[in-house]
Amino acid sequence: PFDVLVVGGGPAGAAAAVYAARKGIRTGIAAERFGGQVLDTMAIENFISVPHTEGPKMAAALEQHVKDYDVEIMNLQTATKLIPGTDGFTRVELASGATLSARTVILSTGARWRQMGVPGEAEYRNKGVAYCPHCDGPLFKGKRVAVIGGGNSGVEAAIDLAGIVAHVTLVEFDGKLRADAVLQAKLRSLPNVTILVSAQSTEVHGDGSKVTGLSYKNRVTGEAHRIDLEGIFVQIGLVPNTEWLKGTVALSPRGEIEVDAAGRTSLPGVFAAGDATTVPYKQIIIAMGEGAKAALSAFDHLIRSVPA
Ligand code: FAD
């Protein structure tokens, strides 16, 4: 059995594995896809002290840093079930049929952005279609963008982007915005923002290498429209990869793993970190810090428990 078993190999999981291994305890990491969301990222310019890097490069560096230590890496392994134990061991079932057993488990299975599912979206991902305003906003300085989604995250993104870009069109499917009133008031006060409601995005247009426009349908009149622009921020939800945990560890109504300030979950010996948790602001630097914290909490748990 492992002393620490990390489930998920993104920034949070990699940081947790390195911190655990540095304590000289038996550490394993199981990941569906080592690198996580970082693998799907182009430019990363907000990882402090590294002014610019690329996703695949950072993902390779994450894996290499973990490999520098005595960590058992189980890549391409999907966890399907968490089984809390009464014997001081928590078990994790894998899709392969294997069961891993560990004195502490760190859950770091991350999240995924909900997609619009329209033609052109996948083709122009990272070529104008973006999901993270904190990450990619500055790339659109002085340009025209749309934000898809009028919930809190969409309206926050539109307010944030309006300070950087030339113009923002907020596109909401419903007949009205769903964001908090204070955010809506702020948005409406901005001179370079257009708000469209009852608007269904239908297609992302591009010139083969980058986004050039967005088509939408007015859901009331049925009329089709096209906006010329350079960027589209999709803000219709970040979904935590926690479906497999339902009924075990406590999840928030949005499916995020509830953690306290030390990264502890509702189950003793089970910790969590990164985008899969209730910790706000889903960013690489935050996920790594949380992963380090969860590993230190797991170590603290181990030195306080009677050896099994
Ligand atoms: P993830 O990176 O999501 O990793 C989750 C890991 O868990 C993966 O290894 C996955 O395969 C694995 N996993 C999932 N389910 C299971 C399972 N059941 N069993 C086993 N393993 C599982 N952040 C920034 O700070 N700067 C940026 O510039 C930036 N740009 C971004 C661009 C894009 C396109 C995207 C999508 C995100 C971007 N982000 C950026 C956000 C950043 O990537 C995330 O905040 C960060 O990766 C979260 O790390 P994590 O380890 O919590 O989760």
Question: 111 C-alpha to center of ligand 1: Å?
Answer: 6
Q: Which of 189, 218, 234 is the last residue of a domain?
A: 234
Percent of the chain as helix, strand, coil, to the nearest 5: 25, 30, 40
- 8 Å CB contact between 228 and 213: yes
Q: Are residues 133 and 199 in the same domain?
A: yes
Report the amino acid identity of residue 273: A
Q: What is the mean pLDDT of each run of 10 residues along the chain (308 residues)?
A: 98 98 98 96 93 96 98 98 95 98 98 97 96 94 98 97 98 97 98 98 98 98 98 97 98 98 98 98 97 98 84
| Residue 41 CB–ligand 1 contact under 6 Å | yes
Global pTM value: 0.94
Q: Do the annotations mark residue 18 as ligand-binding?
A: yes
User: If you measure from the C-alpha of residue 217 to the centroid of ligand 1, how many angstroms do you get, rounded to a whole number?
Assistant: 32
Residues 6+ apart with CB under 8 A from 223: 217
Q: Are residues 26 and 66 in the same domain?
A: yes
Domain harbouring 294, CATH code: 3.50.50.60
Q: Strands across the sheet with 224-228, in order?
A: 199-206, 211-218, 224-228
Q: Is residue 99 part of a domain?
A: yes
In a domain, 32, yes or no: yes
Q: Would you tell me how many other CB atoms lie within 10 Å of the CB of residue 64?
A: 10
Distance CA(270)–CA(297), nearest Å, equals 10
| Coil vs helix vs strand at 125 | strand
- pLDDT the model gives residue 307: 67
121 within a domain of the structure (yes/no): no
Distances (CA, A) of 226 to 13, 142, 208, 217, 274: 42, 20, 18, 9, 38
Find the domain containing 17 and state its range. 2-112+238-304
- Domains of the chain: total: 2
Is 118 among the domain residues? no
Last residue of one domain, picked from the residues 188, 206, 234: 234
Do residue 105 and residue 8 come from a single domain? yes
Q: 10: annotated binding-site residue?
A: yes
Complex ipTM: 0.99
